[in-house]
Amino acid sequence: MHHKLHTDAIEFLKNKVYLGSYDQAPENSSSFVYFTVEDALPYNAFHLDFGPLHIGHLYRFAVALHNILNDPKNSSKAVVFYSSSSAKARANAACILCCYLVLVQDWAPHQVLQPISQIQPPLMPFRDAGYSKADFELSIQDVVYGIWRAKERNMIDITNFNLEEYEQYERVDQGDFNLICDEFIAFASPRQSRPGAPLNQPFRKLLQYFVSHNVELVVRLNTHLYDKNEFEKRGIKHLDMIFEDGTCPTMELVQKFIGASETIISNGGKIAVHCKAGLGRTGCLIGAYLIYTHGFTANECIGYMRMMRPGMVVGPQQHWLYLHQNEFRDWRHTMVLDTEPDKSIGGLFPLIPLDAYKERRRQRRRMETERDNMDMNDADIPADESVEIPSMGGRRKVSTQLRQAASEAIPSDNPGQPRKYIGRNGRYTNSDEERDNEDDAPYTSTVGNNAISSSPRKEMTVFNENQENVVPVVDGDSDVFMGDKDFKVSTHSTRKTANHSSPTKHHRYPSQFYRRTTTTTKTTTTIASSPPPSRFAKKNGADSAIKGAKQRSISSTRSIKGGRVLSSEGIIGNPGVRKLSARRYES
């Protein structure tokens, strides 16, 4: 039986893992081995922000901790993970240890938060990367619960995390983008001096990755700094949803973005979103979608996104996400994906209120009823007796197959924003200052012989593309009245697929409407219908099910193999330089 070790450090795992902070680096003893990552894995601040450390840091921390624990020399020792006594360093150390225990060791959030709940002095909350006063605080609890919820929703799996790819593409000279989850990529705006200009290296890296990783939609939120044809000619749809830097989007724009994203994701594609820096406006829209889809709180969502891409959601955008979080969650139950494509978002399908959809369905039913009545009235007009009408013979019996086909054819019921840039010394740095160089020159396109330059306050440019229209649907049981005859027909859902059609076979997405036609003569009434749904499904071969939420998959692996981090620089390895480059990349 092990005796309890005496230490001033906080115990997380008895006689095994502790958390401490010291003014001076402690020395190893016969009972304890001390280690820190404060110098090896520094946070790269934009302004006054200091954390949390990102997912790449967490992976390297896990490798370092496992190497120490698995070292035979330390078999009888406890490990103390420590930081300096500064408030910022203490917060980062506590946060990364808690996130590690949740993400790698499968601890529950309350289990990792309990040891630090009454710590003195209290741990410092995190702030945003903007240049105004920090009026929105993010606690370690917010970050831990954000990581936990993402893990529960199968949005993040540290065992399959690609550290080399993460550290490569977050660099400005390699594209400056990060995967927020499987469906979304956040990135900074590429740059071109004019349409058709040669592509610089970051732009080329970006395009290569998007093409090879099934990115089907790029959403631009800032003014034009490049030619969108560079994406379109590679088969990637491009949309403009522009709003001013440092501000928040309208609810109508958010509904269009979520609807367009749902359409792409249901067909197996990914969405890449960018503003100028890929932090503020980008974080607003992706955050709204994550709250809508996965039920994050605003604080959890911000904490998770900053772990994946540091600096996301800035200034008043934090309050905007907080104030509207309940509304975004409610949309899951009060909004549906429209069945009519919206030209302003390239023929994709926005969200619309469920009540508006039902009202539109009622109006369509009334129009159908009026059309049927008009057809019956036309049939009552006396025929011209001078025209000989051939005998129709006896009344035909309606076959069982015809009755079934008729039944199946009827439908059922801010202040300044943070930037990454290249300094005069050749290093990639963060600053809010707009540099007076060719990088910040407005993107210029030409129409005829006239030059057009982008403006910060330019109205939103919409993307128009020929798109196959999808006829709206109706559902629910319906009684069809045809003159003096009543035909009460049971309903059946059916669907016709189209390019980028709205997802189906889901309780929130209605089925495709097929028009019912009625032909009436003086003696007979024939009901004609479109083919049964099974024939359309076989013909089109489309996957009719929307991609649902994945269930939690718990890996039995309790440790991370350190073999993926190849480095000679001690147990930590080379942490990578996010913004370092010896030259500018100009077009």
Domains, in order of start, for the chain: 10-337 (3.90.190.10)
Structural tokens at position 280? 């503020």
Q: What percent of the chain has pLDDT over 90?
A: 58
pLDDT tens digits for 7-50? 789 999 999 999 999 999 999 999 999 999 999 999 999 999 99
Range list of H helices, 114-250: 140-152, 163-169, 201-212, 229-232
Comparing C-alpha atoms, which of 175, 201, 200 is closest to residue 188? Answer: 175
pLDDT band of residue 416 (cuts 50, 70, 90) is low
Neighbours of 482 (CB within 10 A): 17
Average pLDDT score over residue span 227-246: 97
Average pLDDT score over residue span 98-110: 97
The CA dihedral of 387, 390, 394, 396, to the nearest 10 degrees, is -100
Contact status, residue 101 vs residue 112, Cβ threshold 8 Å: yes
Contact status, residue 482 vs residue 419, Cβ threshold 8 Å: no
Judged against a pLDDT cut of 70, whether residue 264 lies above it is answered with yes
pLDDT tens digits for 506-564? 444 444 443 444 444 444 444 444 444 444 444 444 443 334 334 444 344 444 444 44
Which of 99, 181, 275, 301 is labelled catalytic? 275
pLDDT tens digits for 334-386? 999 998 999 999 999 999 999 999 998 888 888 888 877 777 766 655 555 54
Please indicate whether residue 99 is annotated as part of the active site: no
Whole-angstrom distance, CA of residue 408 vs CA of residue 401: 11
Structural tokens at position 365? 């039913």
Q: Read out DSSP for 482-498?
A: ETTEEEEE---------
> 327-333, long-range: CB within 8 Å, 24+ apart, which pairs?
327/251, 328/254, 328/288, 328/291, 328/292, 329/291, 329/292, 329/295, 331/255, 331/258, 331/292, 332/292, 332/293
Whole-angstrom distance, CA of residue 446 vs CA of residue 438: 18
Comparing C-alpha atoms, which of 505, 475, 512, 471 is closest to residue 490? Answer: 475
Average pLDDT score over residue span 143-161: 96
pLDDT band of residue 419 (cuts 50, 70, 90) is low
Contact status, residue 67 vs residue 565, Cβ threshold 8 Å: no
Whole-angstrom distance, CA of residue 381 vs CA of residue 515: 25
Beta bridge partners of 489: 478
More confident residue, 162 or 466: 162
